[in-house]
Amino acid sequence: MSTGLKTKLFLGAAALALVFLFVKTTVTEAATTSTLRGWAWFGQTDGLNDYLSFDCADDYIGDLFDDEGNLYNFPEPRGFHFYAEPCSSLVHGVSISPVGNFSGQAWHNSLGLVSFNGVDAPPNYDFNVFCPSTCDASNNCWACYSTTTQQVYGWARVDNTPSEWLNLNPAVVDPVTDPVKLQDWDLSNPVLPGNLNILAGDFIGYATSTSGRNFSFNCESEIVGGNCIDPANPTKVSYKVYVGNVQVGYMSAPNWSYSQACAGTTLTANLTWQTRSGEQAAYEIVVNDIDSFSTSTSVCWSGLKYSASTRQYTIPNLDPDCTGLAYNTHYYWWIRVYSQDDEGTYIPSEWYQFGDGVTSVDNSVGNLVPKTFLTYSHRFPNPFFTWSPTEVKIGTTTFSGLTSSYYDNNEIEYDCEEVCQYEWSTFGDPGAEIYATTSATTSILFTTATNTTVMLKVTDPQSYYCSTSTVLSINYGLPIWREVKTENR
């Protein structure tokens, strides 16, 4: 289940123990709602910029008479402000449901509430064809988001002036304008190419109103005043709308290739993920060999890991609640990530299961079981070869890979002999000739005195393969000579 609670996590050892007791439980999967935060630029009043707040937690309201920063510069309008605790009297917010439909209200100091869904019909529902789920009068939906196109479609409305509708995708009727887009987890598919400041969960673009006003979702895509820096905080852009709650958008396993299995242990898995919104401050992972989430009966439980940058968890490791993997076993895994608010509170996301509700990549070989990754069946073969004569000269040399070995599902080691498949190759001597490239024993004719690499690839009966190579120094053979007695004349 979603925790649904803001769990306060402190770094003290005693507090951490209590936290672990809290999260060490059995949960079920829940859908994720995206909570929007930040501001959109909404035109100007008397030459000053106006902003649209998407969550009451971001509202600037109240009595700042005793505040040194009362005459602050953002958001507009500048000047004296009375104070009230955000979300105490004016409660509003905009969110996107798990199926992509918008709901809720934003707030503008002059215009009042701006709704993103309601019972009144917008100018049209033509946009519904782009929505991943139904968005029309049947569910009071006015706007939607499609992960396929990363675009927002539909309408919003200024409540105090019902005739003023905001077109969230003006490019549908006007290709010149930039539609509102939302960057998904995959930054290699950017909504604003070339701009590295657009993060996963950020909006860009702008909408147009029926009264002729525009509002921009991100100063990075439409810089107002030529400066996209907040004077009060140079590390942040001056305005943008973004998804505030941290979410996972991509999971991948086991990420352990043949070359890695040949170079080290076969029983390893790298669980990787990417966030689709929010800022990760910590993470937690559970792995099990059955489709049942429980930290107390799991194969591996990471515990809480404090890291903002890590996007990979490797098994095996030294975590006390994480045992090693077994051969030829299907594993399920879950992750939740944590954000951190200004007070240092760690806020957990939903639990995300691999293969369920997020983009998941299973790159294990031969896996047909949904929502799992599959470990290899056994250790990989050990290729090894010898050659004769040991001093290699230009001419023919015999090589044998019969001393290679392989393993079965019971981890019993056998000599390869004629059971394995062989593949010989060379590098460094363009004229070298291999007489039998796929035999256990072959002869190679070397033609050039140089350093030449000889490589043998061995494939076991289950098609697992590894390669080994040796660099040989090829020399000229000694010249043929004989002693000739001098004749007297």
Q: Are residues 351 and 437 part of one domain?
A: no
How many residues does the structure list for the chain?
A: 489
Which of 104-108, 230-234, 290-294, 382-386 is the least confident region? 230-234
Q: Is the pLDDT of residue 441 over 80?
A: yes
pLDDT at 21: 30
Domain boundary pick from 346, 374, 402: 374
Q: Are residues 174 and 134 part of one domain?
A: yes
> Average pLDDT in the 199-222 region?
86
pLDDT at 400: 96
> Average pLDDT in the 448-471 region?
96
Residue 94 lies in a domain: yes
Q: pLDDT confidence of 89, banded at 50, 70, 90?
A: confident
pLDDT at 232: 58
Residue 65 lies in a domain: yes
Q: What are phi and psi of 174, to 5 degrees?
A: -140, 95
Residues 406 and 462: their CA atoms lie apart, in Å, by 10
How many CB atoms are closer than 10 A to CB 448? 14
What are the tens digits of pLDDT across the range 20-53?
333 333 333 346 899 999 999 876 666 667 788 9
Q: Are residues 228 and 214 part of one domain?
A: yes
Q: Are residues 266 and 215 part of one domain?
A: no
Q: Is the pLDDT of residue 130 over 90?
A: yes
Q: Are residues 276 and 174 part of one domain?
A: no
Q: Are residues 235 and 128 part of one domain?
A: yes
pLDDT at 488: 63
Percent of the chain with pLDDT over 90: 65
Residues 234 and 230: their CA atoms lie apart, in Å, by 6
Buried b (16+ CB within 10 A) or exposed e, 301-340: bbbbeeeeeeeebebeeeeeebeebeeeebbbbbbbbbbb
Of 207, 219, 203, 224, nearest to 164 by C-alpha is 207
State how far the alpha carbon of 233 is from the alpha carbons of 59, 72, 236, 436, 468, in Å: 17, 12, 6, 70, 57
Q: What are phi and psi of 200, to 5 degrees?
A: -60, 130
Average pLDDT of every residue of the chain: 84
Residue 104 lies in a domain: yes
Residue 483 lies in a domain: no
pTM, rounded to two decimals: 0.81
Q: Are residues 56 and 26 part of one domain?
A: no
DSSP 2: -
Q: pLDDT confidence of 219, banded at 50, 70, 90?
A: confident
Domain boundary pick from 201, 218, 243: 243
Domain with 269 in it = 13-30+247-374
Q: pLDDT confidence of 230, banded at 50, 70, 90?
A: low
Q: Are residues 225 and 188 part of one domain?
A: yes
> Average pLDDT in the 171-183 region?
69
Q: Are residues 309 and 338 part of one domain?
A: yes
Residues 293 and 86: their CA atoms lie apart, in Å, by 38
Residues 55 and 240: their CA atoms lie apart, in Å, by 12
Residue 69 lies in a domain: yes
Of 294, 318, 296, 292, nearest to 305 by C-alpha is 318
Q: Are residues 160 and 49 part of one domain?
A: yes
> Average pLDDT in the 304-315 region?
96
Q: Are residues 412 and 311 part of one domain?
A: no
Cα angle, residue 55 at apex, residues 214 and 134 outer, rounded to 5° = 75
Residues 123 and 170: their CA atoms lie apart, in Å, by 13
Task: Write the CATH number for 435.
Answer: 2.60.40.10
Residue 6 lies in a domain: no
Total structural domains within the chain:
3
Q: Are residues 408 and 306 part of one domain?
A: no
Tokens of 15: 């507090």
Q: Which residues pair with 250 in a beta bridge?
A: 274, 359
